Amino acid sequence: MRSFEARGVVITGAAGGLGQALVAAFLQAGARVLALDCNATALAAMQEAMSAQATGHALALTTLVCDITQPQDCDAAIAHAVALWGGVDVLVNNAGISHRSLFADTDPKVIRKVMEVNFFGAVHMTHAALPHIVARRGVVAALSSVAGYAPLLGRTGYCASKHALHGFFDTLRTEVQERGVQVTLICPSFIATGIGAAALGGSGAAATAPRITTGGESAPQDIAQRILAALAQGRTQLLPDRTSRMAWWASRLAPRWYARAMQRRVRTEFEK
């Protein structure tokens, strides 16, 4: 079991629902956390809320505004972490955005924006952090999704970005695992965070169709604890809920059945 006591942990998208839950979970495990987000207001509110809990954990939290789509921001964030702790032990690529729109109704610029955040943002941050993580035989984790291994109607760009994470991180694992680095992909289904409400529509404005979920929504605090346990156990992939596990097996053993069932469930989002 890997311990996070006094370890340096960098978390992107830290001001969102799951991001805040991950920050709290790592602090409770004794880690030192650098919380990154592009939303300065939300980041400040999170830091204030953590401090208001009146625990020693808040003293181990540092926040920094960072746009992960900008390589220079990622380099600066990791340099800041190294200045604080002398290195980096864990990187959690959690930041992400979504869109809900049929491809025929979607401006390709929307898909490019989703790829820039979900895929290239993780690539930039991982590239900046990797030498330090290798030096400490640490962990790189990436938040994928059921959409990372199965189709999801009306989310071509989102699925593409998450599928790309699997190709990238599964291959990265083969390059660094013999040097003691753990690479973990986390694939939840639906979590009660703000990502659905913040999804882009086909024009790039906010999506207006209500999000259809399957199997209910998990609490971000529960998913964060499951992620922490998976990283401590050295797992390479985490399917943290019943829906994600069922989708994994169904999409592999009966892909045509899975696609039809998914279409029946989700297509009502886009019926006019």
- What is the distance between the alpha carbons of residues 95 and 98, in angstroms, rounded to a whole number? 11
- What is the distance between the alpha carbons of residues 58 and 184, in angstroms, rounded to a whole number? 26
Strand partners of residue 169: none
Helix, strand, coil % (nearest 5) of the chain?
55, 15, 35
Name 259's Cβ contacts closer than 8 Å, sequence gap at least 6. Answer: 151
Catalytic residue list contains 158: yes
CA separation, residue 257 to residues 145, 151, 229, 242, 271 (Å): 20, 12, 33, 18, 22
Which of 85, 119, 149, 158 is an active site residue?
158
Minimal CA–CA distance to 28: which of 240, 232, 239? Answer: 232
The dihedrals phi and psi of 170, each to the nearest 5 degrees, come to -65, -35
Beta carbons of 192 and 218 less than 8 angstroms apart = yes
Minimal CA–CA distance to 200: which of 96, 67, 104, 110? Answer: 110
- What is the distance between the alpha carbons of residues 214 and 189, in angstroms, rounded to a whole number? 8
Please give the full DSSP string across 174-225, using - where no structure is assigned.
Answer: HHHGGGT-EEEEE--S-BSSSTTTT-B-TTSSB--SPPP-SS--B-HHHHHH
Which sign, positive or negative, has the C-alpha torsion 150, 254, 105, 103?
Answer: positive
Minimal CA–CA distance to 81: which of 134, 7, 139, 14? Answer: 7
Residues belonging to the active site: 158
